[in-house]
Amino acid sequence: MRYLDLYHTGELLQRVKVAYGRLRRCDLCPHLCGVDRMAGETGICRAGFKPRIASATLHRGEEPPVSGSRGSGTIFLSGCSLACRFCQNFPISQLDNGEELTPPALAGRMLRLQGQKVHNINFVTPTHYLPQILAALWLAVGKGFNLPIVWNSSGYEEVHALELLDGIVDIYLPDMKYGDDATALAFSSAPGYPEANRAAVGEMLRQVGHLETDDDGVAQKGLIIRHLVLPEGAAGSSEILPWIARNLGVETHVSLMKQYFPAHLASGMPELNRKLTDGEYALAVEALEAAGLENGWVQE
């Protein structure tokens, strides 16, 4: 893993220090709250100083190159910098279910999963705990940790924060959720999502390139973009998919997701209060094909 070199040169520890420094006026995501999380203040994501996780388990339900044959070591962080009205994980992301840990304890969960022979460690909704994850990684490497790192995020991120992950994250698995500001604000309270998101995925591609797998088809490094199709075309699929092809390349791996249902607060929003229809998903598949995107996954 590339982060092993950074560990041995001292660069990884330096990144930990720089990342924690950002908690003094937290600017880890585009909300730029400016709160002092080192002093116990909290911002929009409600995250404090110590990492909080909901689970750390072997998971087989990710995209095939991520799950592989032995599963992905999935660590769900509690809280989120988005407030998606339809979030299917809202007890974790919005109600903050989980347990508070120290970085050494988080490192212990990573090592335990490595002992279960998973292919990688997959941090889900990690953005607001970037410093704590880097600290846990530094501690875990000292005890023999050496698996690829998956950054499984909302894609609502700051490029300057992602730069701290350069040479550390092997596989980026971001969402591209919305094509316009008004929808991002109404559905996820995420001002400026499209612009921030596009800059973020561009930085991710710069760091890791397109997806590379081993002889068994297991991801070694690269970018996979997830796009959840919403009712009424609200996710902006017809804009986002051509944007990916034009700006990141037609070889970009895209996971076009169909599983929308009205969870959490969606029942109170007429445009979100129903399942996705087969016809709506078919339109998104047509947009994917028309854009010339060659790689990835569509659902039956």
Binding site for ligand SF4 (CB under 6 A): 26-29, 31-33, 35, 43-45, 47, 81, 128
Q: What would you report as the CA-atom Rg of the chain, rounded to the nearest whole angstrom?
A: 18
In eight-state DSSP terms, residue 217 is S
Minimum separation from the CB atom of position 218 to ligand SF4 (A): 31
The least CB distance from residue 226 to ligand SF4, in Å, is 20
Q: How far apart are CA 42 and CA 36, in angstroms?
A: 7
Cβ proximity to ligand SF4: between 151 and 281 the closer is 151
Closest separation in Å from C-beta 28 to ligand SF4: 4
Dihedral sign for Cα 64, 65, 69, 73, please: negative
What is the DSSP secondary structure assignment for residue 151, as one 8-state letter?
E
Q: Residue 43 Cβ, how far from ligand SF4 at the closest point, in Å?
A: 3
- Tell me whether residue 46 or residue 210 sits nearer to ligand SF4 (CB atom): 46
Least CB distance to ligand SF4 at residue 117 (A) = 33
Distances (CA, A) of 153 to 31, 76, 130, 172, 231: 15, 11, 11, 8, 22
Q: Which is nearer to ligand SF4, 43 or 174 (CB)?
A: 43
With respect to ligand SF4, which residue has the nearer C-beta, 43 or 262?
Answer: 43
How far is residue 213 CA from its own chain's centroid? Answer: 19
**Pairing, β 212-213 against β 52-59:** unpaired
| 96 contacts 50 by C-beta, under 8 angstroms | no
The closest residue (CB) to ligand SF4 is: 43
Cβ closest to ligand SF4, residue 90 vs residue 281: 90
